[in-house]
Amino acid sequence: MRHLVKDPDWWRGAVIYQIYPRSFQDSNGDGVGDLLGIVRRLPYIASLGVDAIWISPFFTSPMKDFGYDVSDYCDVDPMFGSLADFDAVVETAHGFGVKVMIDLVLSHTSDQHPWFAESRKSNDNPKSDWYVWADARPDGTPPNNWLSIFGGSAWRWDGGRMQYYMHNFLASQPDLNFHEPKVQAALLDVARFWLERGVDGFRLDTINFYTCDAELRDNPALPPEERNATIAPAVNPYNWQNHLYDKNRPETLDFLRKLRAVMNPYQAAAVGELGDAQRGPELIGEYTAGDDLMQMCYGFELLSGTQPTASRIAEVLELYENSAPDGWITWAFSNHDVVRHVSRWNLTAPAARGFATLMMFLHGSACIYQGEELGLPEANVAFEDLQDPYGIEFWPEFKGRDGCRTPMVWERDNANAGFSTAHRTWLPVASEHIGQAVAAAEDDPAALLHHYRRAIAFRHAHPALRKGVIGDLRAEGNVITFTRTLGAEKVFFALNMGEDPVTLAPPEGNWVPAGPELNSAQPGVDGNLHLAHWQPCIMLSTGERG
- Could you tell me which of 279, 303, 283, 302 has the C-alpha nearest to residue 294? 283
Cβ atoms of 428 and 381 closer than 8 Å: yes
- Distance from C-alpha of 42 to C-alpha of 57, rounded to nearest angstrom: 18
Cβ atoms of 210 and 101 closer than 8 Å: no
- Using omega within 30 degrees of 0 as the cis cutoff, is the peptide bond preceding 396 cis? yes
The one-letter code for the residue type at 197 is: R
Q: Which residues pair with 537 in a beta bridge?
A: 494
Catalytic-labelled residue, pool 273, 301, 373, 402:
273
- Distance from C-alpha of 218 to C-alpha of 486, rounded to nearest angstrom: 47
The three-state DSSP-derived secondary structure of 190-239 is HHHHHHHCCCCEEEECCHHHCCCCCCCCCCCECCHHHCCCCCCCCCCHHH
Cβ atoms of 269 and 296 closer than 8 Å: yes
- Distance from C-alpha of 84 to C-alpha of 301, rounded to nearest angstrom: 38
The one-letter code for the residue type at 314 is: A
Q: Strand pairing of 511-514 and 502-504?
A: unpaired
- Could you tell me which of 493, 490, 481 has the C-alpha nearest to residue 455? 493
292: annotated active-site residue: no
Angle at CA 519, nearest 5°, toward 518 and 521? 125
Catalytic-labelled residue, pool 34, 65, 111, 205:
205
Q: Which residues pair with 494 in a beta bridge?
A: 481, 537
- Distance from C-alpha of 534 to C-alpha of 538, rounded to nearest angstrom: 13
Side-chain-facing half-sphere of 264: CA atoms under 13 Å: 10
Q: Would you call 268 helix, strand, or coil by DSSP?
A: coil
Q: Which residues pair with 329 in a beta bridge?
A: 297
Q: Which helix (H) or strand (E) holds 495?
A: strand 489-496
Q: What is the DSSP annotation of 81-94?
A: --HHHHHHHHHHHH
Angle at CA 65, nearest 5°, toward 242 and 191? 85
273: annotated active-site residue: yes
Cβ atoms of 331 and 359 closer than 8 Å: yes
- Distance from C-alpha of 76 to C-alpha of 60, rounded to nearest angstrom: 5
Q: What is the DSSP annotation of 449-474?
A: HHHHHHHHHHHHH-HHHHH-EEEEEE
Active site residue ranges? 205, 273
